[in-house]
Structure formats: C-alpha cells, structure tokens
Amino acid sequence: MEYLCLTEPHEIGASCHGAICGDEAVIVDSGLHPKMKGYDAMPPHKELKNYDVKSIVLTHSHLDHVGTIPVLQSKFPEANVFLTPPCFDLADALLHNSVNVMTSQRNELDIPEYPLFTHSQIDEVQERWQMRDCNRFFDATDNVGIYLQDAGHVMGSCTASIYHDGKKILFTGDVQTQDQTLIKGADIRAEGDYDALVMETTRGASPRPEGFTRAKEEARLAEKIHETIANGGSVLIPVFAMGKTQEVLTMIHQFKAQGLIPDVPVHMGGLSTKMTTIYDRHAKKSRRKAVGFQILRDMDVKVARKGKRGPLEYRPGEIYCLSSGMMSENTVSNLFARKFLPNPKNALLFVGYADPDSPAGKVKAASSGDMIALDEKSYKEVPLKCSVDDFDFSGHAPREDLVQIAIGSGAKKIFLTHGDADARAWFKAELSQAMPDSELIVPEKGKLYKI
C-alpha cells in the first residue's frame, strides 16, 4: 500500500489524498482551494493518470474537501463515491451553489474555465454517490475495505480508514473531538495498529488560553449580545453557511430559553437557509446534543428571502446571523455591513476564522474609526465605529486532542497536512516526544510514500 499526496500540506487548500492499493486507487476528498481561482484552485488530478481510481471517499462537505469531486468523477466515471447520508445532502447543496458562484466569477474575474462543472453534471455524477453510515465496515471493491467514523467537525463529517492487503491508513479529514453546541464531538476508536495516519494540523499553532471552556465562551457571547441590545444596538454575526450558522442559531435559542438575552428577532440569510433546512432534515438521525431540535421549526428565525432586491434592512435591537463568514464581496453579510459598521451602538461578533485578505480579516485587523473597504471595486469606504469582538467556537480539535488521536492510532508513519508551518512544527515536536518510534512526515504534493 502507498500514500499519494495530492494536496499542498502547508496550508488549508484543496484537500485531496490517495491510497494506492495494488493496481487501484482510493481518493479521499477532492477540494477547491478557497483562495485560488480557476485551474490553480484544483488538486493535481493529472498525478492520477497512471492509476485506476475505483473509489472516492468524502470526509465532509466543506468546499476545500468536496469542491472538485464532480471534476474527479468525470475523469473516473466508474468510481463510486462513499459518503454519509447528511454529507450527501450538504455536498449536493454546496456544489450546486458553487456552480452559481463560479458562473458569476467567470465574467466578473475573467476565468474562462469556470464553471468547472454544471448543475446537470452534478446530477449525473450523483448516480455514483453511495451513502454509508459510520461504524460499519464495508467492501469498496474486492481489494479494499473502508470504515468511517464520526469526526464531529460538521454534520455528517467522518474520518476514513482504508484497508488493503493487511495494511490500513487512517485519514482524519477535519476533526473536532469536543462537543460543539449542536453537534457532538468525534466518536473515533483507533485500535492502535494503524500503519499510517494522514492528519489535519489546523490548530497546531493556536493554543487555548488557560481555563478556556466552550461554556465560558458561550456565556461571554450571551453577555455581549445582551449588553448591545440593552444599549439600543444590533448584533451582526457573520457565519459560514454550513456548520457555524446552525451552531450559532442553536446558541441563541438556548440563550433565550435561559433568559440570558431578550427574545428579540433573529435574522438569517444567504446560503445558510438551505443548509439549515438540511441540518433540520437530519435532526433525528445525526449525532447531536439537542436531539430532534429543528432550527427552522423550533425557533422564530426571520429568513431574508432569496431574490429580494437590495441589502437586508437594518433595525436596532435585533440579531443578524448572516453568511458569508468572511464577509466576502457580494454576500449578505458584506452588503449588510455597510450600514452596520458606522453605528457605534452596534456589535460585530466574529465566531470563526477569517482570512487576513478577506473583508472580515480587514475589519479584525482595523482599529475603531478606521475606514474599511468592504468592496474593492466600488472604492466606497465606511468608517468602523461599531464594537468588534472575536469568539472561539472552532470546529477543529484542540491540538492536544489530536496528539491523543495520533497516539491512539499507533501509526508507524504520520503525515502532517492541512495546517501552516508553525502548526506542523508544533505537532512534529510533540509527536516526536510522544511517539519516538513513528516517522513524522510533511508530505510533498505529487509524491508517493510506501506504507
């Protein structure tokens, strides 16, 4: 068995990994790079030209893991794609949305190869998508077995163990070991006899402050919302459509039930609504803390209707959970921020990662009173007068927990991916102490490693 690295390990880019099993290949994820455009945003599928890809596993439906699955499938039309039932529905919605985004970028940014696939191509390749539950071993082909386990990152996320010829590799995908507000933490049991582990290192350079707990962070958020509303302002929480939206809405529901914040209107908009509908559809079947809780049924959320002209109307004393999380241009959160930022009574609350080059990243780096360009093209700047706060509700495991997963796997070879140089350096130092007999490798894109 061999591991073929098809991703740039030095960053969170277009995730893609290969397990070479004799004369066939299993591919784990095929993402789209969130910062690059066109063909540059794709994994190097050309490296697969000498392999027979018979199986593809999808660990979860974030764009950096699922974004180019239809392209890969068009090259290997006979390959089956294995994924969990919630991941199936979320990936379907995300890919169709991605076609719309790429289609508008084709003209705006002059990228002739966009869209990389069409709506009808997604429908076509879906015939090969096969739903599999976690914790049930299955044969992908005569030569390859696969075992998925819940990764606790977003609904339907999983790790993938690939078995072939007496060897096995564990691919973590993106993992959160600890319970979030809605989604339960990972449910991973490693038997300690893995030959290799391909692991994410996202939080390697992000230690948590002493005494950090999610409950305390939730309490801090509730207090900030309460204080802002009491002072006559509104709250804007830019959220990723899938995962963070549903976590934050569940928090707000609980804050209201506990009397921590007043029962004020909550708005959502953008792609979030579609994703929330899918979260609700799987309310009883996915691993979650609030079993059966359905956001759109059990909460009075005001949904900004699709196709409604102009930005969402601003009202004082209300809560706006709007995508995108990075306030990217032309998204609901970006358009809404123009009227929101200049009001000193308002609070802009970040609950997730923002790339430094994104509008959200620029706001995070700015000081009160600075002029912010939310849209590069219009050159209209707005003054940042509202308060800005940052909260840690990460969907990624604390680094110490990932070290425990590595130790639990007993892997003889550990490949460090999905993290920056500082993150990988921390894991290298920790794991070389904790697992002195294991080989720690930062894999190179396009290179093959014997397992």
Binding residues for Zn ion, per CB under 5 A? 62, 64, 174
Structure-block tokens of residue 243: 């995962």
Smallest CA-to-CA distance from 26 within 158, 168, 126 is with 168
Q: Is 446 helix (H, G, I), strand (E, B) or coil?
A: coil
* 3-state SS assignment for residue 171: strand
How near is the Cβ of 102 to Zn ion at its closest, in Å? Answer: 19
Closest CB to Zn ion among residues 203, 282: 203
Which pair of structure tokens corresponds to residue 358?
């994104």
Q: Specify the residue, 7 or 181, whose C-beta has the smaller distance to Zn ion.
A: 7
Q: Which residue lies nearer to Zn ion by CB, 115 or 173?
A: 173
Q: How far is the CB of 411 from Zn ion (least distance, A)?
A: 20
Least CB distance to Zn ion at residue 231 (A): 36
Cβ neighbours of 82 (radius 10 Å): 23
Name the minimum Å distance from CB 62 to Zn ion.
Answer: 4
For residue 46, count CB atoms less than 10 angstroms from its CB and return exposed for 0-12, middle for 13-18, buried for 19 or more. Answer: exposed
Least spacing, CB of residue 65 vs Zn ion, in Å: 6
Cβ contact 273:321 at 8 Å: no
Cβ contacts of 248 within 8 Å, gap of 6 or more: 237, 239, 321, 351, 393
Query: Closest distance between Zn ion and the C-beta of residue 183, in Å?
Result: 12
The residue among 62 and 399 lying less far from Zn ion, judged by its C-beta, is 62
Tell me whether strands 138-139 and 301-303 are parallel, antiparallel or unpaired. unpaired
The amino acid that residue 119 corresponds to is H
CA–CA dist 13, 29 (Å, integer): 12
CB of 154 to Zn ion, least distance (A): 6
Q: Which is nearer to Zn ion, 150 or 174 (CB)?
A: 174
Q: From the centroid of its chain, how far is CA 50?
A: 31
Amino acid at 63: L
- 421 touches 10 (CB < 8 A): yes
Which pair of tokens denotes residue 135?
């914790």
**Both structure tokens of 50:** 């000498």
Rg (CA), the chain: 22
CB of 324 to Zn ion, least distance (A): 15
